[in-house]
Each structure stands twice: as structure tokens, then as C-alpha cells.
Structure 1
């Protein structure tokens, strides 16, 4: 997908007007989430023009079937005569009998403002291109022009990485570039700054104040500068511009999605109501993708397929290592404290460390699961609690381990990422897992490189985190005092007992007691739940090692079982000085180098 921009300027001067596919979109019925779309494909040399709605979206790894939101479809020739339309499958229209030109009109329903779908209402037109515009696969190399007919009565403006033709008309060198160019149309605020001759701009659609926007933009600047430090330079953005498209409004859906020269940031949290601190993590994650995934790009994502899901075994690196840097960058930028960063590592660490899923899949195989989990939908029950670890989290804790391992040898993950960038990302050469392995061997030596990949990537072993954390003056301590039951409960709707909400984890006390999702715990040791009682308060009256009689209901049948609580498997991660331990001078030096703190 990255090759589409090469030589496009030269090619565009050779393309005649007849070889341009044109689109127009308007929003007269925005109040009911509808957009009117028109597409013209001219100078056709095929008897039947096949057009599709995409089934995927750049940055996502699952199918989404955008055709479901298209209706009122009709096709005409250049004289306005209606043409025959055949539907060979749910997302394709075959149009025949044309005179060399086909004009298509349809209505799009759009009401999800995130990084994948589109949303049209009277606050904005938030457009992800694959979810919005029909396309002709056989004409994918043609130049595209699109006109956004903005609602002037709502003071709408256009923000996009697409270059402007004039007014509200923009263009793309080909289909792939068009599909990778999200667009925000609203009464937004724009802030920008120059860095190394490149413009970094924040398009902010929110209901807050100008002062809030200014404060938030300063945080964005700090993130950009800290991430540039990792790689030593910014990517070569097209038109020397990178755009954050941020929608922080009540009708949005929380998300973030990277693109070649821009990223979508959506949240229901306003800057005044927690978003100032909580939304900036998405900025950190998505901007890091400007290097790692957009240009340091897995070969398995090339070319990006708009009709099927690309399966990639590299997401532990592309998404996971990016996730490792997400909060690390916030710490380096001074946006969270060292204490907040270190203690915040515990959540992902415990999730990965205690998951039974590692017995089934290694990080590569977990990455293969993306088409089933990346905002994919299904109605049948699955056993993800026992069989899946997010490649975001898995890769994040492995990135942490690799970084601390390298630092024990006076190396670091930043310089490894720089080397991958120089050899693959900067040259836009898609990489394989073997390439990542080879670069690590080149950077850190064959022994360390082979040990990391052979044990933790091709297999699902776990590093010695206790020793790694100790090297930077951090403790890893198990919380043995609290009893662990192995189930997640919620009070039943009728107030009679508590229902098990998730599949018990393999090997947990609940699993051993043969309890299952959907079972209703009526009482434990004949002690009923009190009205209004919290689950945690109810369970704290039982102790580790107690043999508990659990009375429960399954499919309306009363049953009993015996459950023995175990020590909680979770760990806390804390600075040594916060648990009355004294880190050595070398530990503190390594910590300072790791977190780049004073």
C-alpha cells in the first residue's frame, strides 16, 4: 500500500480529465445521518463496470461490510438513462449497457464516529473513506477528485491529508491513497507548529474552550518531540504535513486510527472532563504508528486488501511494541510521573503473565487472530478468556522485556527501532519476522537476538521479569494476601444471587470447581447476598484455602460444588524506594536512561 505515492506527481500530469474518477458528497439530511453520494466513472473500455463497497479499512484487520449502509442505489449513462445493475454478491454492483460513462448515486447511512466508520449529523461529517465511497477495483490506478459539499449554515470546514484542488475539492493520486485519507468536516479549531520543515497540525472538533485547546496542543507537541527522539527524525510526510483529526464529542465512539500522514482520534471524554489526561495516550500511540506500521510495515499487509482481511503475524511488533512506547513516551514527555508509569505497567503484565492462552498460541499466532477480534462481530460464544491475549498487550510486555534486556548490555530498544527504521521503514521496504530477527542479531549480537526470538516470539515462554525490573530499581511483588476465586460476578437482575459473567480461566478455583459462565451463585457456605451488597464486600469474608460450599443454579437447576480460594495471582510493580528498598546507583542510572528523566 505504501508504493501508491511513488511518482504520483509525474503520473498525475499525464492523466487526462477523462481518466479521473470523480465523487461528490453532500449532507442535506445530516439530522437523520444520511449523506448523498455521487460517483462518475468515465472513459470506460469494459462492457460491465464492477463497483464495490470496501469490506475492510486501513489500520483495521477484520471485515466490516460497509455495503450494509448503502441504499437508494442507481446507475445512469452520460445521458441520464438508467442502467442495468446486477448484484453478484452483497458488496458488489455490476453495471452494464453504459455508453463509456457511468454515473452512480446512492444514499449512505452513517452514525458511528470512530476510526473505521463514518458519522453524519449536524455536529460534523466524520468520514472514513472505505465506509463512505463506492469504488471500481479495475480503475484503482486512476486519479480521484472528491468534492465535499459542506454545510455552510453549520460553519463546516474540511480537514484531510488529501491535497486541495480548490475550494472544497480535493484529489488523490489513486484509489489506495484515497482510501487511506480520513476526512473531518465540522466547525473545528486548528493548531499547528513547525518541526524540521514539517507542519504538525491538530484539528480539534470539541465543545470546549480555546484555552483548553491551547493546553492540549502543548501536550501533543511534547508527544511529537519525544517520539521523534526515538527514531532521530520525522518521517517524510507527503506535502510536509501531518494532521491529527481529533473529535472529542459526546456522539463519538472512543477510538484511534493511524494513516499515512494523519490519524483519527475520537473520544466521548471532553478535555474538561478527563480528556486532557486520558485522551493523550491515543495521540502517543497513533503518532508512533507514523513510523511503526505506516512505514515500518509488515509485508503481510502489502498490498492492503479491500475485499478480504490481511492476516499478519507481525502485529505483536507493529501494534504491541507501539503499545509499549505509548505510556513510556508520556513519561519521557513529562505528561505522567515515573511512579504513574511504573505502577501502570501492572495491568498489562498481569493480563499476559496470568493468561492460560499462552499454552495455545505464541505471539505470532496471537497476531493471526486479529481478523476475529479487531472490532469484528460474531453472535456465537467464544472462549477468548482462555485462548487469546491481545497482541497489543502481549507485544507491549515483550517490548518492555527486550528494552530492559538490551539495557543490561548497555544497549536499548530505541536504537534497535532506529535500525529497523533505517533499513526498512525509511526506505519503505516491507519487512518479515525474519528481517526483525536479523536486525536484532545485527544490533545486539546473535546470542541475545536468537534467545529473544526463539524463546518469546517463536515460542510462548516468558522472560525473567523479576531480574529485569530489579535492574532499573523496580520491584515485582505478588499480592498473596487476597483470595482468588477465578470468576467475575454481577448481581442477578432479579436480585437473587450473582451471575458468572465470563468463562472461568483454565486452572482457576472456579474452573476446578466446574463452574461456568451463566451459572448463578445463590450463596456460599449458606451465606446469602444482602440487598445492595457489593460483590467484593461479599467475597472478602472468605479466606485463602477455605473449603467453600457453593450453591448455584444452572439452567434453572439447583446444584452445589466445592471451591477453594487460592492466593491472588496478580503482581504489583512499584519503585523500590516506595516499598522501603534502596536502589543502587547503577539501578538509578539505568532507570534514568530508560525513562529519560532528570
Structure 2
């Protein structure tokens, strides 16, 4: 999720599928995993797995290809070195590496254990074109810090994702472990060794662990025990310093959710990055059923950190409603290496982000003016994506282009879909029904163990509500019609107005009017869906135009960077010629550089709204 300087991940954590019961001779016997954080060699951690006795000749072993919630194929197997299988006499068995993330054991009946080394992902973030999103990544810093997103350390055997796991971790005695994973040796005299248990593989990857110098605080939010653990490289930020803001926020969230209960325990793991070449660079969070990993730069000012933690952690905590509770079969039976995606990101991320805004105004954490400002930010940001793309089609095909590059719109337009649906439901029901009401009803029917059928959800929502809701989904969620936000906001007495503002040639604020094709970075185009500034409009340029040449310079990524830099010194009378390709046709556009202006949207309150409008706005903002 991109919010100002943040990239959130937004955030789904998905459930594992059912397993065959014929592969191992003792299915109830846990797969035993040992992770050594003490004897770190070449910045790598040693992992050993004892899977029990196999009864077949061949077995596949996997490290996840994709981490649910990031919507990117990160191939965590690339960070595994030296995977070796041993028989019961300690001799090495042949292993066939099939691809980055899978290995085939052809003498499975002889396998006693396997071992391998794990490299951390933080070290590579500045080296690769598409790095692993930091909150989904791993860090190995000997004797100081270990961020264990366990999908990067522990794999699974084909057909055995439902088998229990026992994970023994040997760590420096000076470091404290924070996690929601169940620990069975609490109070043990063997300091530095922790033994955790999981009922199945999903529980392993659903519970990240942070090892750091002791810096945590635990507090109670009604029936939820919350632990906040902080890794601060210079030791300046204490968990107790952030507790008041987090405690106030989560209490407000519980009041907003009412009797929708997701978890009795919640762990917040905050990692602060030094921003060095081998440290985290992707800032935001990844959610889990009972925890979240948050990554921010260490240099972030305290006031901004607290505000960002409220926005980010509130989003992640609301994921306990969806998709961690209300979710489809695609999520319940997720395949970590050959995933099939759900069509309902409008709900998983859109509803979650909408709730993270709505609860703050309803619980008095932000003012109406701030709430309206955030709505306008969402509207403006959404225009930077393809506004005619079907949201359900995008969601179903989110791992592929052109849908992949529109993913971040789930946090922008996804929020606005829920806002408009919320206003519509409240209007049609006289204030009795709303999106929070809808999620409460769905939560009563679907839960962690009961998924819905993906193609049936929207029809089910329509049957619970009104025919007008059918039209809304058909046109703006399944269909490709842009949402007329002004019409929905007018229902609650708000008006979208435009004010002409001075700007720059190629940017509106921090948002560029141009972008590069991911498949060919030298193909620079004008982004669709954006309200272009006077510079582009006066030239006659349109969204989707591919820029071929500007003032005699052929356009590549590098030459475009140079032209953007030069543009800050352009004179208004400078002649501009721009050759573009539009629908396969080359066009020559000419004009003056001019003084660029853009229309800034603002949201204003109507001066004399009707009583019905006032009542609807009151219901929207207060309950």
C-alpha cells in the first residue's frame, strides 16, 4: 500500500489446504524443526527438519513461492543454500532441485532429516529490481536482531501441510523473543532456547518471531492481550513510549467492531531500519491472524511515527475481520506455490482500509476536516490508476499485468467502493444497514474455518440488501464504469469542488503524470485516469499516449529523467514539440511550455443541507 512515504502491504494471510493422510507412517507425530540463531555462519542461519518416516518413494519439499498478502511471487527458495538430505546412518542422499522453491527426494523412505542454510532478504533489497517487501522479509544480524518471517525459514512437504510442527530455536541468551506462536517451554531453565508448536504449516507462517534486546510491553484491551515489541537499533525508542497511542487506538477499534471478535491475543512487531545498504527499505506492514510486522525507518520523527503506527496497525488489526475471518475458498485452501486468487480484494483490502479511516472519525480520533481530506486523497490517488478496470477481474488476475501494476488501487479505489456502498446502504435502510453491519452479518456466517464460495459472495450481499446494490456492483465493481463520487458524497451533504493551483510540468504534488511500462522501462507513457494539468492539455496530450520524442530527444527512461530535471527551469514561452503514439498512430503535438496549473479537488460541506441529508451524514460519521 502506498500512502505518502509508506508502502503497505496491505495485507492478507491465507490458510493452508487439506492434506493427504497416507504419506507418513505417523501423521500425528510433529515435523521437528531446529533453527540455530547462535552459530551464524556467513550471515546465514542453519535449519534442520526431521519429517518423520515416509512410506513412499518420492516426496516434494517446498519453500513458499508467494507470501499471501503481498501479491507478488517472491520465490523464498532463492534464499536457501546447501539443502541436503540424510539417511538414518547419516549418509547423504541424492536431492533433485526442481526449481527455485521445490526439491524432489527420490529415496524418500530412506530420508531421516534434511538441513539447509537460510540467507536473509534484507541484504538484497537494494540489489534486485523487485525486492521482497520488508515486512514479509527476513533479517539476520548476529547477536543483535533476527526477524523470522517463518515462510523464509521453514518449508513443507507435499501433502503434509496439515501435519503439526514443533520448532526449537536456539538464540543468544541476551535476546528476547516476541511472537503469538504457542510456546511450550515457558519458564524453562534452558535460557536461550524456545520451543514452539503449531497445529499445521499455516500456523507456522502465520506467526512471525522477532528476536531483539528486551524492549516490549504488554497491555490489555478488553478481552485482548496486546504485546508491542520494538527493535530500535540505537535503543532510543522504547515500546512503552508508543503504548499510549496504540492502546487508545485499539480500544477505539474494539468499540467500533462491537461484538465482532477476531483474536484474544495480538502481537505488534515493530522493526526500525537503519536504511543501510543491507537493511530494510520497504515500509509498511504485513498482517497475520494474531500479529503484524511493521517496518519503518529509524530516522522517522516520533510524531510522524506515532501517526503512522495508528494508520498502519489499525489497518492490519481490521484484517482480523476480513480476510482472516471472512474469506473465500481460494484463501482457505491457498496453494503457496501455485496460488489461485480471489476476486474480492475490494473487500479484503478495501473494506479494511475503509474501516481504518471510518473508526477514527466515529471514535473521535480525527476531525471531520481530516476525514474529508483523507477521502479526497483517496479520490486523487485513485485517478493515477486505470479507473475503467473491473475490480473483480483485477483481483482475480492480480499476479499478472496489466492488473499487477494496478494493485495499489485496492487501498485507494477499494476504500472508495466501500465508502459509496456504505452511504448507499445507510440511505436505503434509513440508517439501519451499513458496511459495518454487513461485515458483522457475514462474520456470523463465515469464520476462520468456514469460507464462502468466491463467485457467490456478491449475489449473497445483494440478497441481504437491496436491488440498487446489485446495480452498484454490476456497474462499478464487476463492471468498468468509474464511480461518480460527487453523486454519493452529495447524499451526505458534501460537494467536490475544484480550485486552480500552480504546479509543475510532469508532477501533481509527488504524483507523476507519466510512468514506464514494466515490460519495457524505456516505453514512457502518460498515465490514464488522471486529470492532466494545463501543460499536457494545451499540447493536446491524452492519457495512454506513449511519448516517443520531446524537442528532438528520443525518449528512454534515462533521457526522460533528464527532461524532467530540465523542465524545472523551463521558460513559459519555450516551444515544446512532443511526438506521441496514440492507438498505434504517431502524432506531433506542439505548443508553448506555459505556466502549468492543475485543478485541485477539495471536499466542502453544503451550506444548507436538508434534514434528511444531515441525518444521513450524522449516521455515517457517528455510528
Q: 1:188 to 1:118 in 2, by over 3 A?
A: same
Determine helix, strand or coil for the equivalent of 2:231: strand
Within 1, Cα distance between the matches of 2:310 and 2:523? 31
Equivalent position of 1:110 in the other structure: 120
1:376 aligns with none
Partner of 2:371: 341
2:399 aligned partner:
371
Q: 2: CA distance between counterparts of 1:390 and 1:220?
A: 27
Matching residue of 1:254? 283
Question: How much does 1:388 deviate?
Answer: 7.1
Write out per-residue CA displacement over residues 133-187 of structure 1, whole angstroms, 9 at most, x where no aligned residue.
23212322321111111122xx212222221121501011112221222221212
Aligned partners of 2:564 and 2:262: how far apart in 1? Answer: 58
Could you tell me which residue of structure 2 aligns to residue 291 of structure 1?
321
Quote the offset at 1:354 in angstroms.
6.6
Is residue 525 of structure 2 the alignment partner of residue 503 of structure 1? Answer: yes
Q: Which residue of 1 aligns with 2:5?
A: none
Residues 215, 238 of structure 2: 8 Å contact kept: no
Q: Does 1:202 align with 2:228?
A: yes
**CA 1:272–1:308 in 2, change beyond 3 Å: closer, same or farther?**
same
Query: Greater share of helix residues, 1 or 2?
Result: 1
Unaligned 5+ segments in structure 1 are 374-381, 491-498, 524-530, 543-547
CA contact (8 A) 1:354 1:569 kept: no
Identify the residue that residue 429 of structure 1 maps to in structure 2.
Answer: 451
Q: Name the SS of the counterpart of 1:27 in structure 2.
A: strand
Q: Distance in 2 between matches of 1:105 and 1:204?
A: 31
Whether 2:248 is the aligned partner of 1:222: answer yes
For residue 455 of structure 1, the aligned residue among 465, 475, 492 is 475
Aligned pairs for 1:47-126 within 5 A: 47-97=57-107, 100-112=110-122, 114-122=134-142, 123-126=144-147
**For the residues of structure 1 that align with 2:403 and 2:333, how far apart are their CA atoms?**
32
* Structure 1 stretch displaced more, 99-108 or 503-512: 503-512
Match of 2:210 among 184, 202, 209: 184
Match of 1:162 among 178, 181, 199: 181
TM-score, L = length of structure 1: 0.80
Q: Is the 8 A contact 2:262 2:320 kept in 1?
A: no
Contact 1:56–1:130 (CA under 8 A) maintained in structure 2 = no
Identify the residue that residue 45 of structure 2 maps to in structure 1: 35
- How far apart are residue 286 of structure 1 and its match? 0.5
Q: Secondary structure at the match of 1:51?
A: strand
CA contact under 8 A between 1:62 and 1:309: conserved in structure 2? no
Mapped contact 2:501–2:600 kept (Cα < 8 A): no
Q: Determine the C-alpha separation between the residues in 1 that align with 2:397 and 2:469.
A: 25
Deviations 1:281-313 (A, max 9, x none): 110111000111101112322301111132221
TM-score, with length taken from structure 2:
0.77
- Structure 1 426/37 Cα, relative in aligned 2: closer, same or farther at 3 Å? closer
Q: How far apart in 2 are the matches of 1:567 and 1:441?
A: 50
For the residues of structure 1 that align with 2:106 and 2:403, how far apart are their CA atoms?
47
User: CA distance change for structure 1 residues 70 and 463 in 2, over 3 Å: closer, same or farther?
Assistant: closer
Q: Hey, what's the Cα distance between the residues in 1 that align with 2:28 and 2:437?
A: 49
Moved more, 288-297 or 562-571: 562-571
The 1:461/1:73 distance shift into structure 2, 3 A limit, reads same
Deviation at 1:436, TM superposition (A): 3.7
Are the aligned partners of 2:34 and 2:168 in contact in 1 as well (CA < 8 Å)? yes
Give the Å deviation of 1:475: 2.4
Within 2, Cα distance between the matches of 1:435 and 1:372? 23
Structure 1: how far apart are the matches of 2:361 and 2:571?
35
Query: Number of paired residues?
Result: 547
After superposition, the C-alpha distances for 1:547-596 in whole angstroms (9 at most, x for unaligned) are: x8414699xxxx9731588997755233428xxx4556665554443233
Change beyond 3 A, Cα 1:248–1:236: same
Alignment-derived partner of residue 461 in structure 2: 439
Structure 1 residues 485, 150: CA separation in 2 closer, same or farther (over 3 Å shift)? same
**Gapped regions of structure 2 (runs ≥ 5):** 1-12, 123-132, 186-192, 515-520, 554-561, 581-586
Q: Is the 8 A contact 2:421 2:469 kept in 1?
A: no
Give CA deviations for 1:234-275 in whole Å, capped at 9, x if unaligned.
Answer: 5353xx312122223323331311112222111115462621
Q: Which residue of 1 aligns with 2:441?
A: 419
2:495 maps to which of 441, 451, 475: 475
TM-superposition CA deviations, 1:45-92 (whole Å, max 9, x none): 122332121112232333211111111222111221111112233322
Q: Residue 126 of structure 1: CA displacement?
A: 0.7
Q: 1:318 matched to which residue of 2? A: 348
**8 A Cα contact 2:17 2:333, kept in partner:** no
CA RMSD of the aligned region, Å? 3.9
**Is the Cα–Cα contact under 8 Å of residues 500 and 521 in structure 1 kept in the other structure?**
no
Distance 1:4 1:33 in 2: 31
The match for 2:162 is: 141
> In 1, Cα distance between the equivalents of 2:323 and 2:196?
26
**Secondary structure, in 3 states, of the residue corresponding to 1:107?**
strand
